[in-house]
Structure 1
Amino acid sequence: MLFSKNSLSRILPAFVSFSILLYSCNSNNSSEQTSEQSAPKLVKSAEFNADSAFQFVQKQVDFGPRVPNTLAHKACKDYLVASLKKYGFQVTEQDFTATTFDNKSLNATNIIGSFNPSAAKRILLTSHWDSRPFSDQDSIVKDKPVIAANDGASGVGILLEVARTISAQSAKPDIGVDIIFFDAEDWGSSGEDTTLEYSGYCLGSKHWAENKHVPNYTAYFGVLLDMAGAKGATFFKEGYSVQLADDVVRTVWTTASKLGYSNYFIDERGGSITDDHLPVNQKAHIPMIDIIHTRPNNLSKTFFDQWHTSHDTMDNIDPKTLKAVGQTLVQVLYQEAAGEAL
């Protein structure tokens, strides 16, 4: 094709402009592709079995209320220790004596299981395993101990299944995992007694934070589970967790979202709850968050309906909720082991 001098003078600037635009678009596409390629993605992880977790919760409930100084408490302790050992965890029983807000003396035990104990990078997963000795939120029966299917056993059941899951894999995550079942968490004052540290709750976690099972022990971060198994549970971003370990909150909630569990892990900040993660943050100086069932917009009840009542039974435990929490934790472990934290 032949161009006259005048037509070429008109076409050339347009061609140059188009070339610059094309280069710019290609550069942007390349930049976006590089960004997408470098962004952390979900790695392949082990499958968390919700039915198995449900059975772990059921087994604890079958012992009866796990109130310190009772036979059920002792029997459940032996079961938890044996279970962790069965899944290849190195177990430490941290016995201690705790004094409650009403001056009772408790024979208590923090149960600590360590997976891959020589690994430098460690993740700490915790829940309390004791039951509240009275149903103070019950409308009728207030003096009986709580069976504590959700407020205690659900978190422990999830963590036992996490232990079983990672131990059963031929390719285990290259990371250290410490599971602690805190004792004597739930014998606190029914009111907000400001003269008592943590209102008399969190006796086991406080003891561990001040007397770590390994001198100078630390962890990359920690996650506490509390009331983690009820039907239709909602886990808002607990206030102290956001304040003290916001990066961990974002990691866990982002992971849950990518797995499709946003209906459980609500992307909104909730209230600040006094729980076992506070001593770990404040005394052990390990950033720990709390995955806890709350309803911040409910003026009549902050927690699930059966909280601290005689109705906290297996009827309220949902394998779907156990799955959402447990699979999220397993995925977080595998992401950390692969250096692909979300």
Structure 2
Amino acid sequence: MLFHFKNLFQKAVILLSVSVLIYSCNTSTNSEQTTEQAIKLATAPAFNADSAYSFIQKQVDFGPRVPNSVAHVKCGDYLVATLKKLGLEVTEQNFTATTYDNHKLKARNIIGSFNPSASKRILLASHWDSRPYSDQDSVSKDKPVVAANDGASGVGVLLEIARTLSSLQTKPDIGVDIIFFDAEDWGSSDGEAKDKFSGYCLGSQYWAANKHVPGYTAYFGVLLDMVGAKNATFLKEGYSVDLAGGVVKTVWDLAAQLGYSNYFVDKRGSAITDDHVPVNETAKIPMIDIIHTNADNIANTFFKDWHTTHDTMENIDPKTLKAVGQTLIQVLFQEAQPEVM
């Protein structure tokens, strides 16, 4: 009996030792995997959300920026002047856009290039026009949309990124092209438009087929659409995952490491017809869409005041602007210093 107990004790010690060894190995492996998964962050400047907010306010102060309106012309001139003041090389791409309901629009895409001689280029974009009618409004369906979030928020973030880049004494070794697409939001919500884009994305379609620089290309692109609302959620938009999945992963991983996973939700969302589609399909540049979509509300895909007269500055939250802007700046500086990836 004593002999049997001794053998059992010895076996128990051996089993315990093996278990400890296995646990130690697993712990070591998990630790190594965590280290491998973590991204070594490049040093990047801070994004000023208050400054971005003021850029949004300035656009809204012009009134709805509907093509062919005085407000549209004045705001376009302001965007051009601001990009030039910040030291970017500016190209104005004027064109006539024909809407699905046969309106002729005097439109212009506005392009600002930071470090235009750099061979490695990243494309950032947003649309700057306002929708001509508030079709999702319960009362004032015929009024134009002020478009603080759906348009101006993305432009404001990109203007602040331009300001941040231009203010640096040591410039990153990378080129950045900022495009403000026009005539994005004159589309049909009732199926009247029969084209692939339902009447939307006229400016990006034009640019994709007529690039501002012949033969222009970029490593990848990021489109911003509705990036200013309080508690916004950015799901991994469907076309972005299918057409530029690697870029989606990079951006969402960086956002998570910066502490913004409550905004950049690790979940695939709906496929949204937006300005990134012609950039992918026609211009052949992998571009993703950071766009506010709701994770748990299929009936209301976008933010609550989308395409209504209530899309005003009350929607805009500097915390959301900070999450988006800081993530994008980090993306740029990771690309400028690829050895840290």
Runs of 4+ in 1 over 3 A off after TM superposition: 28-40
Which residue in the other structure is 1:320 paired with? 319
> Which secondary structure state, in structure 1, belongs to the residue aligned with residue 338 of structure 2?
coil
- Unpaired runs of 5+ residues, structure 2, are 1-16
Which residue in the other structure is 1:264 paired with? 263
| 8 Å Cα contact 1:40/1:340 also seen in 2 | no
Query: CA separation in 2, counterparts of 1:137 and 1:341?
Result: 46
**1:37 offset after TM fit, Å?**
8.0
> Which secondary structure state, in structure 2, belongs to the residue aligned with residue 85 of structure 1?
helix
Which residue in the other structure is 1:71 paired with? 70
Does 52-61 or 28-37 show the bigger shift? 28-37
| 8 Å Cα contact 2:135/2:141 also seen in 1 | yes
Which residue in the other structure is 2:97 paired with? 98
Q: Counterpart amino acid of 1:105?
A: K
1:87 aligns with 2:86: yes
Which residue in the other structure is 2:303 paired with? 304
Which residue in the other structure is 2:328 paired with? 329
Query: CA separation in 2, counterparts of 1:30 and 1:139?
Result: 57
| 8 Å Cα contact 1:110/1:183 also seen in 2 | yes
| 8 Å Cα contact 1:271/1:296 also seen in 2 | no
TM-score by length of 1: 0.89
Which residue in the other structure is 2:173 paired with? 174
Query: CA separation in 1, counterparts of 2:232 and 2:270?
Result: 15
Which residue in the other structure is 1:216 paired with? 215
| 8 Å Cα contact 2:84/2:90 also seen in 1 | yes
Which residue in the other structure is 2:138 paired with? 139
Q: 1:340 to 1:139 in 2, by over 3 A?
A: farther
**1:48 offset after TM fit, Å?**
0.4
**1:171 offset after TM fit, Å?**
1.7
Q: 1:285 to 1:64 in 2, by over 3 A?
A: same
Q: 1:108 to 1:37 in 2, by over 3 A?
A: same
| 8 Å Cα contact 1:41/1:340 also seen in 2 | no
Query: CA separation in 2, counterparts of 1:159 and 1:261?
Result: 18
- Give the aligned length: 320
**1:30 offset after TM fit, Å?**
11
Which residue in the other structure is 1:186 paired with? 185
| 8 Å Cα contact 2:187/2:193 also seen in 1 | no
Query: CA separation in 2, counterparts of 1:261 and 1:121?
Result: 27
| 8 Å Cα contact 1:63/1:72 also seen in 2 | yes
Spell out the pairing of 1:245-284 with structure 2 (5 A cutoff).
245-284=244-283
> Which secondary structure state, in structure 2, belongs to the residue aligned with residue 299 of structure 1?
coil
**1:297 offset after TM fit, Å?**
2.6
**1:38 offset after TM fit, Å?**
10
TM-score by length of 2: 0.89
| 8 Å Cα contact 1:332/1:341 also seen in 2 | no
- Unpaired runs of 5+ residues, structure 1, are 1-17
Q: 1:314 to 1:32 in 2, by over 3 A?
A: closer
**1:39 offset after TM fit, Å?**
6.6
Deviations 1:14-68 (A, max 9, x none): xxxx9xxx9xx99x97997799489740111011000000000000000000000
**1:197 offset after TM fit, Å?**
2.7
Q: RMSD across aligned C-alpha pairs, in angstroms? A: 2.2
> Which secondary structure state, in structure 1, belongs to the residue aligned with residue 197 of structure 2?
helix
Identity of aligned residues (%): 69
Deviations 1:187-227 (A, max 9, x none): 00112457213010000000000000000100000000000
